Every structure is written in C-alpha cells, then in structure tokens.
Structure 1
Amino acid sequence: MSSPLQQERDRFDVVVIGGGPGGYVAGIRAAQHGLKVAVVERADLGGVCANWGCIPTKAMLHGADVAHAIDTASEYGFGVTQNSFDMAGLVTFSRKVVSRLTTGIAGLLSANGVEVIPGTAYIPAKGHVQVTSDAGVRDVRADHIIVATGARPRSIPGVTPDGDRIWTSTDALRPETRPASLLVIGSGAIGVEFASLYRDLGSEVTLVEYADRILPVEDAEVSAFVAKQFTARGIRVEVGARIASVVASEGGVETVFTTAQGAEVTVVSERVLVATGISPNSEGLGLEELGAEISRGFITTDAHCRTTVAGIYAIGDVAGGPCLAHKASHEALICVDTIAGEPHVVPLERDFVPGCTYSRPQVASIGYTEQQAKEKGRTINVGRFDLSGNGKAIALGEPTGFVKTVFDAETGELLGAHLVGPEVTEMIQGLGIARSLEATAESLAEVVFAHPTVSEAIHESVLDSMGRALHWPPRRPAAAPAVGVPV
C-alpha cells in the first residue's frame, strides 16, 4: 500500500492523456485556474502537430519555396542557379525547428507547474488512470480526465506502408534522398502539401484522388483552380480514380488504378505516399468498458467536450473533425473552463474553424462553401475578386488566385470565405474575427484596408458581393444607364 505522501503525490485535479496541441494547452489552462495537473504522454510532447505534422511540414515547405525562388530568380534580375540540393540538410532544418518548439512546450508546462508523466495511459475506472512505462506502473487519481490522444495516419485496404517504398506522411518528412518520382494517394491538405513540396524540390509527382476533385472539402472553385495550377506545374492530377493495387519492389512501386473514364492505368514511381486521412487513437484506453460512446473510432462529446461518462472529457482529433491542431487547442480551453466552472463558456462552431493548406498556391477557408450554403436553404450573395487585379500580388510576381466570400442575402451574415494565393493562410484569420464579431457585408465594406496588400482582395470581394467592386469589371446589365442620365 502506498504511503499518504505517495497518495498525495498521485492525486490530481485534472489528468490529461496526450501532450499534443490539445493536451498541453489543456494542462496549461488548468494550471492557470489553480488546479493540480498532470499530462501523460507516451511519445513526444507536442504530439503529431509539432513533431510529425503541422510544424515540420511547414519547415520543409519553406525549403520548397526557397527552391522555387531560386528557379524564378532571373525574373527579378538575379543570376542564381541551383547547383546542388541536399535533402538531408532540409530534413535537419525541419528537425531543428521541431526540437526548438517541443523544448519550449516542455518549458511552458514546467513553468506552469504541470507534471509530465511519461508512459501509456489506461482508465480502469472513473477518476483513475494507470500509466505504464519502462519504470513500471503508476496509479494516479483525478476528478477530471481529459482524453487528448489525437490520431495517426490511415492507410487503405491492400496498401501497407513499409517506411521505405510506401510512405506515410511521417516517412515523407524524413527521407534520406529526394525521390526522383512520387505518387501521392489522397488529395486532402496533407496529400496536396506533399505533392506541391516534392514537385518544387524536383520530383516528378502524380496525385491520385478517389473523389471527383482534389481538396474535396474545399469550395469547388478552389479545387478546380488548384488542380489547374498543379497541372501547369507539371503535377499529374487524376481524380475519380480507384486504386487497384500498389506493389513495392526493389526497383520502385507499381501502382495500378482505374480512371474516372474506366481506363486502367499503371504508374511506376520511386516512392508512394499514402495520404488518405487519419484514424483516431481511442482504442486501448478502457473507454468503451466504462460506457463511453464511440462512433467510427471517434469519441462522442457534447458542446463542452464531455463524454457520456461523468468526469471524462475528450478533445482534438480523437473527438472528431475538423481534425486540426487549432481546433484541438480551442477545445482545450472550452473543456478546462467548463471544468473550472467558468460562466458563459461558448461552444465551438465546428463549421467555422478555419482550414489552411500550405501548398503553392496556398488555400485558406472558413465556413460554408457556396454549395453548402445553398443546400442549407440560404439565399446568398457571392463576391469574388481575382488577384490579377491586386497590385501587391502583381508586385510579388504571384497574381494568380482569388478571394471568394459568401454572405446571407437577407441579413448580410458572413457564411463562408475561400482564398487561394500568396500568404492567404495569414489572411484567413481576419475573416474569422469578422465572423466572431458578427460583422456583415455592409460593415466589412466600411473597413479601411491598407494599400498595397494582398488582403485588399478581401475588401474587393465583399464589395463585389454587393455589386460595388472598385477594381474589377462590374456585374451589371449590359444596358445599364450612363451616369447622370435621369431614369
């Protein structure tokens, strides 16, 4: 039997299982409320996002941007040639970025008095967590247990990643050499980012998608635009394709798929990347035995992240989509503030969590697509502005892309926004703030946007939804009366 001192040491107000962007933020927030907190992590603090997802991919994509800048330097008067490229150097850079951030996360938890317990967690009963590690088994108790175990890459039937010829996204972040050719299965944000990355680094890339368009969760106009840009860059794009077989050998990987037109196609590539989504890490925790409701592997929660078992909560990817780091972090705040008894905790609007894809061109969106808004029975006004009319985009040498805004025609409510082009991932938050503050088309039209900026395209898109675009051909009847003529 443990001593009273040991029992006190193992007693917490909150135990968080998982140290990713949901878990570590939950730990910090709980500590800010004066609660005694432990975070259990079986691998690395920061989770997939910091270690093998959001952060290292952006570091790698920055390297791809450098490669593109070198390739196009002559347009700006520079005589630069890419004499050599060391894949290991880029991987080393990305891992240094990861190390710096994960070290920072550990420091933040320590500074807030959060205990990090290494090991694998199991919940044998409400209020009880067993943590198994090389040091043995530690039993800890807590009134509140937050499950933030995230997710892992998902494969498809008949295709087994081997870490060599057939990659997961994790493998694609640590190659020893750049593949001469790469076939990517799946064209969500992950697949599209890696297709763009490796193409800019010089690989021949084929992008294969089962749906009828790439980036299928995005607005149809966005999908079509990115597909056109990818094709122009030399990326082979196949949509409506069904994978028949993927066979690896010493010489490469033979992928057979059926096209949307019914033709059977065989592609031989040096590597294949499987980017077909994620699977939640909900198994092995003891949740189902306790009565927690789980659907397709995702833990069912209410608007305040509570599961169907009192005292157990779930946040982030394991609690369902959108499976994004910032959604996990925000749910952490909602969950912990609910535990702490904060009044007026505002539930998350899952439909209005911004999404970003850091390909070239970048994609950013929030809210409903045009089609979704129509399906919800809304009468809408749609504004659109092409970056070919934006001075800053032209000056950057990247005048390709657009901003599309969707408003409720009766109330002016912002229903959705969809951006494609340079640094639009840095611009989408402005529209998130607008939505949060219940801005309308009329109020956004009165905002003064700085010039010259790419973000001015947002203003023009808003004005266009009202028929008032300034720097784009007006959408009015051909027989509109001339200015000053009485009607």
Structure 2
Amino acid sequence: MRHHDLVVIGAGSGNAVVDESLADLDVAVVEERWFGGTCLNAGCIPSKMLAHTAHVARSVREAGAFDVDAALKAVRWRDARDRVFGRLDAERDRGRRGRMEDDSVSVYEGSAWFTGPRTLRIERADGALDVSAGQIVVAAGGRPLVPEPVVDANLPYETSDTVMRIDSPPQRLAILGGGYIAAELAEVFAAAGSSVTIVEKEDHLLGPQDETVAERFTSLVRSRYDLRLGQEVSTVGGRPGALRLTLDDGSTVEADMLLVAVGRVPNSDRLNLEAAGIATHGDGRVIVDEHQRTTADGVFALGDICSAVPLKHVANREAKVVAHNLRHPDDLIAADHGLVPAAVFTRPQIASVGATEQDCRDKGLDYLVGKAGYGDVAYGWAMEDTTGFCKVLAEAGTGRLLGAHLMGPQASILIQPLILAATLGIDAATLATSPYWIHPALTEVVENALLDLGL
C-alpha cells in the first residue's frame, strides 16, 4: 500500500490547500472529474461570464430608455459559449498539468473512497490503487439534486453541470427550482432567445433572501418568465425535445428542454465515510468543528461537502484554515461563518449579508429597518432606475448592523462597505456620518439607507 503524508480528495478548493508550505511533505491529490472544481468548470465563473453577456444584451434592448436607438440582432450563443469555456477549459488544463508536473505532488485521476481509518481505494482507468495517509483532506464537493419524478421519467434533462455547454439554446426551456442558480440561468437563456418557464414550490423566487428582495424580484420577473409558483412536478412525460411536465395542480408545461436546478447535495455518500469513522449531518454534510476537523482523527474537510454555506469564497476561506491547521496542530485557527455575504448575478443584481428581516422577527430581536431607493439618488436618476433599493437592519439602541440587502445595478459591489462595517463592528451611525460618501455616486443609496435608520 502506497503511503503519503497527506492526501487531498478533490482538486477544486481542495487544490488550494497544497501550497509551498507543504513542500517537504509527500502529498497526493485525487480528482475524479474536474481540476478546478465546480466553480471553474460549471458554476460561479462560467455562469457569471454568460450572465454578463446576457446583461449586455438586455442593455441593448433597453437602450431606448436613454434615448439611444439600438437593436439587438442576436446573441451568438455558440460563440459566447466557446469564448467562455475556451478560456476556462484552458485554465483547468493548465492547473491539472501544473499539478502533474509538480515533483512534490502525486496526482491520481479517479474516484476515491475510504476502506478504513485514513486508508483509501482509488479507482483509476488503469486499475485500482490502495493508499494510506498520515492526514487526509476531504474536499469532494457536491452535485445537483435531481427529483425522483425526473429520474423516473428516463427522459433527457440538463443541470447546471451541463446546460451551459449545450450547442444551442432551446426555444422553450422549463426550469425546476427558484433559487439563485435557477434565477441566473433563466436570465442567461432568456437573453439567448429561450422562452422560460420556472416551476417553484415556494410562493416566491429566491425564498432564502430577505422577504422584500424575494417579493420584489418575483414581481419584476413575472413579465419575463412564465412563473408556476407554489407548484411541484408530479411527472415528466413526452419525448426528447418535446417534454410535458405535469404539475401537482394538474396543469402542464410544454418544453423542448428541462433544466433541473432545485439544489445541490454533498458527495459524501460516494466516499464510504463510515469505514473511516467520519460522521455526517442528516443532510449528508460531513460534520466538522470550527477548525474544519472531522470526527476522524487526522481527517479534515472543507467546501460544499461539509459547509452549510456552499459558496466558493467560503470554501476558499476554509482551505486557508485547513492549510494552516495541517502544519500547526498546536496553534489551530478557525473559520468564521457568522457573516458570509452572497450575490445573485441576475438583472437586477442582488446582494446580501447577515440576517434577513424574517430572521430578526423570528428571533424576537429589537431591530430597526432603513431603506433607500436607487431612484432617490442622483446616479439612480442617471440610470433611470425605479426598482433598485438598499435595506439595512440594525439593532435598536446600539446601531449594530444585523443584515443588509440590495437589489439593483452593482449590488455585489455596493454591499461591500456594509460587509466591512458588520464584520469590524462599526455601527450604522458611525458608518453613515464619519466617512465621506462620493456625490453623485451610486453608493449614496447605501448612505441614505443607513441614515433612514434614524440613529
């Protein structure tokens, strides 16, 4: 049995664990599918590159609002796809090649599962290999969840893993799910010419968002998509290229293509974790402590396989924590997940950090709400924006920021001062009145929301 000092399962964010600080160790990386992980190959990066293309197309369509005569001839889907993945596939291949040429790292391309404490079997194209390790990092990520009615139908469907690489956009696209993946990909394919129907079991899209964001976003996109809210798919029928979805209220949706975007599940069920003594939560996530240690001695985990917040920037932070703790067992550091920001790259953009108003209400907190609209500031006038807004939640009395939520252009950038303030303990009144806020920049909408708290 081959022995390594360290084995990392997964070459997404797990790959970031292996840096120069481990150069004196015998290290191996196991990757079953994609060097660079979901983010590079089928997640946040390609979806945002295509979303930006969609935003450019929509800007052309809406140019008349600015007295500009312009007409959109077409979104050249295949050219856009090849531009995006031509770049990203090259990045993936460079990363893979770089690892394989690294004399200090052994690369195993194949699937791995535990056969015992810190022992693995790796199934490769040229046969199985058994290895052991002094320490192991589990960073095997997750995959799209596919509901039983879709599986049982035995008809073609796409997920976020596959849909961005298709040759041409469908004329009619049905999307199952109303979360951020569904919302972003609906934007992409609508811009490319698809007629989009979204089937979502909740009464609003983007349900985990603050209630004001979810309500207003849902209202905005009703004119763009056929929304079937509060409904689920009972059966999928028809034939390839001519699908018929029957919903639980008896209504039907006709589509040329089905995109399943109802969520993701961790890949823990593929690793035989019980053999290693690694415990999981009920939803399959690997249990870790604040130092990213699993319940098995010498085994760490990071990223989507264990995190309650499956975002790339969270996985990257956890990778830094694991890299430190591997080398410094007597000086462990922790990953703080208390204030994790997130953004949805639809049009309009959405960004959030901290508590939602429903969170504050459910916890019985004494809180204040401050709001400001993009249309209330000068640059909002320039943008002819009538729907964008900033909403901040603060603790009554102290002004401590509890949460912040934006919907509108540049939301993912505008939220950053609120993230910093919440993280560093700067109260709302200090943030609103101490620094200069550039006039007439769009950041004034954040300033005005803070002032609206009345502190």
Q: Does 1:448 align with 2:430?
A: no
The 1:298/1:359 distance shift into structure 2, 3 A limit, reads same
The answer to whether the 8 Å contact 1:126/1:312 transfers is: no
1:323 equivalent in structure 2: 310
The alpha-carbon deviation at position 174 of structure 1 amounts to 1.7
Superposition map of 1:55-454 within 5 A: 55-103=45-93, 105-106=95-96, 114-160=105-151, 165-232=156-223, 234-250=224-240, 252-258=242-248, 263-295=249-281, 296-341=283-328, 346-445=333-432, 446-454=434-442
The alpha-carbon deviation at position 207 of structure 1 amounts to 1.4
The answer to whether the 8 Å contact 1:393/1:422 transfers is: no
The 1:357/1:343 distance shift into structure 2, 3 A limit, reads farther
Following the alignment from structure 1 to structure 2, what is the Cα–Cα distance between the partners of residues 218 and 345? Answer: 33
Q: Percent of aligned pairs with the same residue?
A: 30
Aligned amino acid, residue 266 of structure 2: P
After TM superposition, the structure 1 stretch with the greater mean CA deviation from structure 2, 93-102 or 266-275, is 93-102
1:480 equivalent in structure 2: none
SS of the residue 1:229 aligns to: helix
Following the alignment from structure 2 to structure 1, what is the Cα–Cα distance between the partners of residues 183 and 394? Answer: 28
The alpha-carbon deviation at position 413 of structure 1 amounts to 1.8
Following the alignment from structure 2 to structure 1, what is the Cα–Cα distance between the partners of residues 388 and 150? Answer: 35
Aligned amino acid, residue 264 of structure 1: G
1:482 equivalent in structure 2: none
Following the alignment from structure 2 to structure 1, what is the Cα–Cα distance between the partners of residues 62 and 251? Answer: 34
The 1:405/1:39 distance shift into structure 2, 3 A limit, reads same
1:465 equivalent in structure 2: 453
1:18 equivalent in structure 2: 10
The answer to whether the 8 Å contact 2:153/2:236 transfers is: no
Max radius of gyration: which structure? 1
After TM superposition, the structure 1 stretch with the greater mean CA deviation from structure 2, 366-375 or 236-245, is 236-245
Following the alignment from structure 1 to structure 2, what is the Cα–Cα distance between the partners of residues 152 and 134? Answer: 22
After TM superposition, the structure 1 stretch with the greater mean CA deviation from structure 2, 287-296 or 148-157, is 287-296
The 1:113/1:67 distance shift into structure 2, 3 A limit, reads farther
Aligned amino acid, residue 174 of structure 1: R
Following the alignment from structure 2 to structure 1, what is the Cα–Cα distance between the partners of residues 19 and 443? Answer: 34
The 1:157/1:75 distance shift into structure 2, 3 A limit, reads same
The answer to whether the 8 Å contact 1:161/1:167 transfers is: no
Following the alignment from structure 1 to structure 2, what is the Cα–Cα distance between the partners of residues 444 and 347? Answer: 28
The answer to whether the 8 Å contact 1:282/1:298 transfers is: yes
Aligned amino acid, residue 118 of structure 2: G
The alpha-carbon deviation at position 315 of structure 1 amounts to 1.0
Instruction: Name which of 48, 53, 68 aligns with 2:43.
Output: 53
The answer to whether the 8 Å contact 2:25/2:104 transfers is: no
Task: Please provide the CA RMSD for this pair.
Answer: 2.5
Aligned amino acid, residue 18 of structure 1: G
After TM superposition, the structure 1 stretch with the greater mean CA deviation from structure 2, 146-155 or 444-453, is 444-453
The 1:29/1:230 distance shift into structure 2, 3 A limit, reads farther
The alpha-carbon deviation at position 35 of structure 1 amounts to 4.7
The answer to whether the 8 Å contact 1:247/1:253 transfers is: yes
The 1:279/1:85 distance shift into structure 2, 3 A limit, reads same
Following the alignment from structure 1 to structure 2, what is the Cα–Cα distance between the partners of residues 351 and 164? Answer: 42
Following the alignment from structure 1 to structure 2, what is the Cα–Cα distance between the partners of residues 82 and 390? Answer: 30
The 1:254/1:405 distance shift into structure 2, 3 A limit, reads same
The answer to whether the 8 Å contact 2:142/2:304 transfers is: yes
The number of residues matched between the two structures is 452
Aligned amino acid, residue 185 of structure 2: F
The answer to whether the 8 Å contact 1:126/1:311 transfers is: no
SS of the residue 1:205 aligns to: strand
After TM superposition, the structure 1 stretch with the greater mean CA deviation from structure 2, 48-57 or 396-405, is 396-405
Following the alignment from structure 2 to structure 1, what is the Cα–Cα distance between the partners of residues 240 and 297? Answer: 53
Aligned amino acid, residue 456 of structure 1: E
List alignment gaps of at least 5 residues for structure 2. none
The 1:426/1:102 distance shift into structure 2, 3 A limit, reads farther
The answer to whether the 8 Å contact 2:116/2:275 transfers is: no
Provide, for residues 141-194 of structure 1, a one-character-per-residue CA deviation record: whole Å limited to 9, x for no partner: 432101000001101121139998522122321222221111211011101111
Aligned amino acid, residue 139 of structure 2: A
The alpha-carbon deviation at position 365 of structure 1 amounts to 0.7
Following the alignment from structure 1 to structure 2, what is the Cα–Cα distance between the partners of residues 410 and 346? Answer: 33
After TM superposition, the structure 1 stretch with the greater mean CA deviation from structure 2, 155-164 or 139-148, is 155-164
The answer to whether the 8 Å contact 2:241/2:257 transfers is: no
Aligned amino acid, residue 187 of structure 2: S
Provide, for residues 37-70 of structure 1, a one-character-per-residue CA deviation record: whole Å limited to 9, x for no partner: 3321111211111101111111211221121122
Following the alignment from structure 1 to structure 2, what is the Cα–Cα distance between the partners of residues 174 and 354? Answer: 28
The 1:353/1:174 distance shift into structure 2, 3 A limit, reads same
Following the alignment from structure 2 to structure 1, what is the Cα–Cα distance between the partners of residues 96 and 240? Answer: 42
The answer to whether the 8 Å contact 1:87/1:175 transfers is: no
The alpha-carbon deviation at position 427 of structure 1 amounts to 2.9
The alpha-carbon deviation at position 251 of structure 1 amounts to 5.1
The alpha-carbon deviation at position 106 of structure 1 amounts to 4.2
Following the alignment from structure 1 to structure 2, what is the Cα–Cα distance between the partners of residues 115 and 398? Answer: 54
SS of the residue 1:406 aligns to: strand
Aligned amino acid, residue 195 of structure 1: A
1:476 equivalent in structure 2: none
Q: TM-score, normalised by structure 2?
A: 0.91
The 1:420/1:373 distance shift into structure 2, 3 A limit, reads same
The answer to whether the 8 Å contact 2:155/2:239 transfers is: no
The answer to whether the 8 Å contact 1:74/1:80 transfers is: yes
2:31 equivalent in structure 1: 41
Q: TM-score, normalised by structure 1?
A: 0.86
The answer to whether the 8 Å contact 1:155/1:161 transfers is: no
